[in-house]
Amino acid sequence: MLIKTATDLNESDVTPFGIYQQRRRFLQSGIAIAGAALGASLLSREASAALEPGRVKPGPFSTDEEKTPREDVTSYNNFYEFGVDKSDPARHAHKLVTDPWSVAIAGEVARPGSYTLEDILKPHALEERIYRLRCVEGWSMVIPWIGFPLADLIKRFEPTSKAKYVEFETLYDKQQMPGQRRRVLEWPYREGLRMDEAMHPLTLLAVGLYGDVLPNQNGAPIRLVVPWKYGFKSIKSIVKIRLRETQPTSSWTRSAPREYGFYSNVNPNVSHPRWSQKRERRIGEFLKRKTLMFNGYEDQVASLYAGMDLKKYY
């Protein structure tokens, strides 16, 4: 298989959906075996406890669209730390140990430090939110996430007046994440949000989906979900959250700044340099559908960008 370097590879250089559909049945049996091999010992005890019956409540902002089948959500993934093919994360993510897990809170906060996943989860009531996910490549899903607002976590650690942006970082461990042995991107993976985006009630820290602990290939044990932005903004397997005065440089922006801007809002009126964003293919559907401004969350988030030239700040 040809492995491209960071300078010539982007998110569109992956298995086409048609080919994926033909291969999926063959791969599913192997994926199921690999998933079963995880065992309870590799699942976060804290996340499991947080998902006990009665603790998770229905959350706001959920779409009433048909949910994407769980088998598709957990077998068709972008997670380059485990490989560039859509099936690679489900085949390789069993190497990731998610218990114990800690997240470092750093930068412009009054209470920096390293916090276990139990520390992170304990004070928060979890919600199920059914969000659309739109990838820059042109495919989309509808996923029932379980998590809590990022804003609630940020408030706990008391951001200073200098905190204007939030930067996130994924685990860097080439033994557990074999995709990091290749120079696909500059590792570790980093993403960022403006402070008002991070504090928006739609922005979610997810620890589960479909009523269960978040699978490794979907970003276990804790990941970001920003539903009005392209999927690569929703960083997975977070180990560091840093509040900053200056704008961070996201990994895809660093790799290909002309193609992947800092904001990366879903915008059908701004094409990727090599393909249109006007239409998308919902996984499980044959025909394409019209892409919605801000992925259908325009009423909730358009005010964040009032007066901005969204072709310039793409």
DSSP 41: G
Q: How many CA atoms lie within 13 A of 33 on its CB side?
A: 4
- State percent of the chain over pLDDT 90: 81
Cα 280 from chain centroid (whole Å): 18
What are the structure tokens assigned to 252, written together? 């895809």
* Helix intervals (H) in the chain: 17-38, 45-50, 70-73, 88-92, 117-121, 150-156, 195-198, 251-255, 298-301
CB count within 10 Å of CB 300 equals 16
pLDDT at position 43, please?
57
**pLDDT per residue as tens digits for the range 110-126:** 999 999 999 999 999 99
- In sequence order, what are the residues at sequence separation of 6 or more whose Cβ sits closer than 8 angstroms to the Cβ of residue 221? 44, 46, 47, 98, 99, 101, 117, 207, 213, 214, 237
**CB-based burial label for 237 (10 Å; 0-12, 13-18, 19+):** buried
Tokens of 139: 């495919």
Write down the pLDDT at residue 54.
74
Predicted TM-score (pTM) of the model is 0.87
Cα–Cα distance between 80 and 213 in angstroms, integer?
21
How far is it, in rounded angstroms, from Cα 187 to Cα 13?
19
Distance CA 82, CA 179 (A): 4
Q: Which CATH class is domain 17-305?
A: alpha beta
Q: Where are the domains of the chain?
A: 17-305
Q: In this predicted structure, what is the pLDDT of residue 52?
A: 76
pLDDT at 10: 52
Q: What is the DSSP letter of 178?
A: G
Low-confidence ranges of the chain (pLDDT < 50): 1-8, 11-42
> At a CB cut-off of 8 Å and minimum separation 6, what does 55 contact?
125, 126
Measured CA to CA, the distance from residue 232 to residue 236 in angstroms comes to: 9
The tokens describing 154, both together, are 């940020």
